[in-house]
A = this chain, B = another copy of it.
């Protein structure tokens, strides 16, 4: 057992069951999540109350021990990795849904609640968190706040920042920052809690939150449509978004190579798909009934078929088939089975720039290595693309920078971002320093120096103070 755990047990034993302390032996029984380095510290504190969390942070501040916050450990960029001598602070036991107010459409909950647990609780009131993503089963609300998560509904409802009304957090000095406001409208001076959203633990450890909830309509229809490019997909999306009698619930574009390989891995029949299809759009709409949703989807597609050069399409005949459509998009782990350690990226651009970007990306990758290609897929209405570079040696250390440059070139200039929804973590450090916004970086550093002068909160991560 580490010295840190022993000392915490001695100094904070008053908290009893409210504070679990876990050494490296017991950590070995737990799942380290998406990154093997997550459990590097070999020491974890799991508070069941915000007060216990605050006591741990005060102890760390007094003893100069760095704190690494962890939620569901679903992060893809190493934002939760920890090193010996640090202490992991987990939200796992801050997992209570405290109250759902269906009239105000708000929920008050602990940071360790998973998205799926919240979705299920909200569904009991005909409501939804208004945000959804593939890692719903393990991603926690606290982690989603820390990375300003996006997902598949952002084009309509906004990102996590837009769902957060209130936050309680432990600040680096161990004080409890509490702004658990339960209303949407607050114009009462600087909104400090915004600093805690999307800052990946640099400024504080979120313990509780109040989120907005939205209407949920299960009356849906789902289609896969072959399109000639992102522009056609966006024209379809614009058409359906402007129809008052239905709601667009999902719009995910998969370029052909991704779609065909995903379908192949899942033995999904592609007889319906024209050979020359450049990309496939997954669209889901809701309406007053399933029949209306389906009719409106089919009628809309028929209207647009010729004008937008649609090549082929199928509408799901059952909920089960709709789930299979979604699995083609969401179950992306086949990438790493086919192409182990394929380097992956998550960028956003103004949607109108997507086709030029995708064409340029392929060309730039081929100048790095003529055998390179990319899987490209993502939340097209937001201009958010996920990219995995494939090809022999695509994961070679010497090619890391040239490939990054091929991926990130032109994004900042277009008004986009080198990281759309996955965060910066440790893996996108160079991208942050090379392609991130310099004005944001400079001010973020100054605030870090003011809030956390000893650099004890998630060191080695944004905003990357020298450490």
Copies, count: 2
Least distance between A221 CB and chain B CB atoms (Å): 12
| Complex contact A177–B351 (CB within 8 A) | no
Q: Is residue A10 contacting chain B, with contact meaning CB distance below 8 A?
A: no
| Complex contact B155–A184 (CB within 8 A) | yes
Q: Can you list, as one digit per residue, whether each of A444-467 has a CB less than 8 Å from chain B (1) or not (0)?
A: 101100110000000000110000
| Complex contact A288–B244 (CB within 8 A) | yes
C-alpha spacing A223/B203, complex, angstroms: 48
**Which residue in B195, B379, B416 is a CB contact (below 8 Å) of A195?**
B195
Q: Is residue A238 contacting chain B, with contact meaning CB distance below 8 A?
A: yes
- Among the 9-residue stretches A35-43, A112-120, A145-153, the one with 4 or more Cβ atoms under 8 Å from chain B is A145-153
Q: Is residue A191 contacting chain B, with contact meaning CB distance below 8 A?
A: yes
| Complex contact B182–A414 (CB within 8 A) | yes
| Complex contact A183–B349 (CB within 8 A) | yes
Chain B residues near A202 (CB-CB < 8 A): 189-190
**Which residue in B188, B444, B450 is a CB contact (below 8 Å) of A189?**
B444
| Complex contact A382–B183 (CB within 8 A) | yes
**Which residue in B198, B238, B382 is a CB contact (below 8 Å) of A191?**
B198
| Complex contact A177–B443 (CB within 8 A) | yes
Interface residues in A217-264 by Cβ distance below 8 A to B read 217, 219, 231, 234, 238, 241-247
Using known A-B contacts A191-B194, A192-B444, A439-B177, determine if residue A185 contacts B420 with beta carbons closer than 8 Å.
yes
What is the predominant secondary structure among interface residues of chain A facing chain B? loop
Chain B residues near A154 (CB-CB < 8 A): 184-185
| Complex contact B246–A415 (CB within 8 A) | no
| Complex contact B183–A417 (CB within 8 A) | yes
Closest B residue to A243 by beta carbon equals B288
Q: Is residue A181 contacting chain B, with contact meaning CB distance below 8 A?
A: yes
Least distance between A162 CB and chain B CB atoms (Å): 5
C-alpha spacing A189/B439, complex, angstroms: 12
Q: Is residue A410 contacting chain B, with contact meaning CB distance below 8 A?
A: no
Least distance between A321 CB and chain B CB atoms (Å): 22
Q: Is residue A23 contacting chain B, with contact meaning CB distance below 8 A?
A: no
Q: Is residue A284 contacting chain B, with contact meaning CB distance below 8 A?
A: no
- Among the 9-residue stretches A44-52, A101-109, A365-373, the one with 4 or more Cβ atoms under 8 Å from chain B is A101-109
Q: Can you list, as one digit per residue, whether each of A410-430 has a CB less than 8 Å from chain B (1) or not (0)?
A: 000011111111111000000
Q: Can you list, as one digit per residue, whether each of A328-355 has a CB less than 8 Å from chain B (1) or not (0)?
A: 0000000000000000000011111000
Give chain A's interface residues, CB within 8 Å of chain B: 101-104, 106, 126, 147-150, 154-155, 158-159, 161-162, 166, 176-195, 197-200, 202-203, 210, 215, 217, 219, 231, 234, 238, 241-247, 286-288, 348-352, 379, 382-384, 414-424, 432, 436-437, 439-441, 443-444, 446-447, 450-451, 462-463
In the A-B complex, the 4 residue pairs with the closest CB atoms: A182-B415, A194-B194, A185-B420, A190-B444
- Beyond A150-B185, A161-B191, A192-B440: 9 further Cβ-contacts under 8 Å? A150-B184, A158-B158, A159-B184, A177-B439, A187-B423, A190-B463, A217-B242, A219-B244, A244-B246
Contact sample, A vs B, 17 pairs, CB 8 Å cutoff: A104-B350, A159-B184, A161-B194, A176-B439, A182-B350, A183-B417, A186-B419, A187-B422, A187-B424, A188-B419, A189-B432, A189-B441, A189-B462, A190-B462, A191-B198, A215-B242, A219-B244
